[in-house]
Each structure stands twice: as structure tokens, then as C-alpha cells.
Amino acid sequence: MKRKLKLLFLLSISVFLIILILKELKNTIPDSIRPEVETALGHFPELKGIPIEFKFKKNIRKSVMQAQPTWSALLKPKSKRSYVILISEEFKISDEEFKTVDMPTDVLIGWVGHELGHVMDYQERGNLNLVGFGVRYVLLKEFVKKAERAADSFAVSRGMSEYILKTKRFILDHSEIDETYKTRIKQYYLSPDEIMEMVKEQDSLNDNGLL
């Protein structure tokens, strides 16, 4: 009897894994943010064919959006990976809740662009490295800083600097936004000045025909 149960258990796990692996995924975008997401996606032609699900969630701890690989992605080759970008339905300003969909259009585009920057970064990593990424992100402050900067840099290098700057200014200029969140942004992310610097560098590389 015990043996049978064990077998049944193993069988269901295998079926579950096979379904995960074979499930065909497509981009899923909620209608309320479709234009903004599509504008941002337009800057990342490399991500064409990589399924990304944009999904609203009631509340995400400590952030407004979060890009992560799906579980099944960790079992597949890079080219077959899929991702999910979680979007908090609301965020707080002065203890008042605001809806993410009511953010200015360009700010929302910049925000999505930053998340797609994370996906670009993930795409350059092997599966084991990706698992390590999760662990390091939780444990090491220096690593968070590196990862957030990488995401911003990808977006800037894909011509999204204007949007990224607007997103950043939106957060930093809203004196009413939760102070802990602002401190976090200042600590880990590129500052508006650093982004400007990055744009200048890229422009000069472009001018010299190096990019």
C-alpha cells in the first residue's frame, strides 16, 4: 500500500513537471496597461518570442513592480524561458493609496522598461546562476544595487532614458511617497544624474561609431 502511494506521488509530480514544461506561454498583458507595456516592449526587440505575463497583484512587498522567471523557466533552456512581471494594483503616497494605472503614462512606461531591463539581465544568465541571483538578491545589499543598476542600464541603452528619468523623478519629487521606499530608491538605483551621465557616454560612443 505504502509503495503504491509513493509511486502515485512520484507519478503526479512527474505529470505536473511535464505540464509545466510543455505549457505554451504567450505574452499576457492586462488591457488597462496594454499601450504602456507595448511601448516599453517596443524598445526590446530581443525579447520578442519570450513569453512575459504582466499580472496585477493586490500588493507587492516593498515594491511597485517585480520581474521574475516562472518556476518552469528554471527547467528549460534560456530560449524557452518565460517570465512574470507582477504589478502592484496600488501604491502609497502619504498613507493614501493610489492606483498604479493612474500613474502618468510615461512614468508607467519607464517603470515597465526597468522591469524589462531585469528580464534582459536574467536572459544573460544560466539557470543555476538565476537561482543564485534570487538568493544573492535577498541576502546581499551590494548585489541588489548591482542588479537594479543593470536593469536601468539596459533600459537606458535601449533608448528609454527619458522614460526612466521621468519614473525616477516621479518617485523622488513626490515628497509624500513613503520615506523608506525613497531611501531604498536612492540607495540601490541609479540617480537621475547618473542616468544623464550614462546617456552622455552612450551618445559619445554612438558618435564614434562604437555602438
Nearer to Zn ion, 14 or 129 (CB): 129
User: 36 or 148: whose CB is closer to Zn ion?
Assistant: 148
**Contact residues for Zn ion (CB under 5 A)?**
148, 151
Q: What angle do CA 37, 134, 122 make, to 5 degrees?
A: 45
CB of 68 to Zn ion, least distance (A): 11
Q: Which three cell numbers stand for residue 189?
A: 538605483
* Closer to Zn ion by Cβ: residue 5 or 139: 139
Q: For Zn ion, which is the closer residue by CB, 124 or 203?
A: 124
Residue 80 vs 145, nearer CB to Zn ion = 145
Q: State in angstroms the smallest separation of the CB of 125 from Zn ion.
A: 15
Angstrom distance (rounded) from CA 1 to CA 114: 53
Q: Give the Cα separation of 19 and 23 in Å (integer).
A: 6
- Here the cell at position 32 is 488597462
Contact indicator for 54, 32 with CB cutoff of 8 Å: no
Q: Please, what is the minimum distance in Å from the beta carbon of residue 3 to Zn ion? A: 48
Q: How far is the CB of 151 from Zn ion (least distance, A)?
A: 5
Separation between Cα atoms, residue 170 and residue 109, nearest integer Å = 12
Query: CA dist 129 to 70, 133, 151, 165, Å?
Result: 15, 6, 17, 30
Q: How far is the CB of 148 from Zn ion (least distance, A)?
A: 5
d(CA 83, CA 71): 9
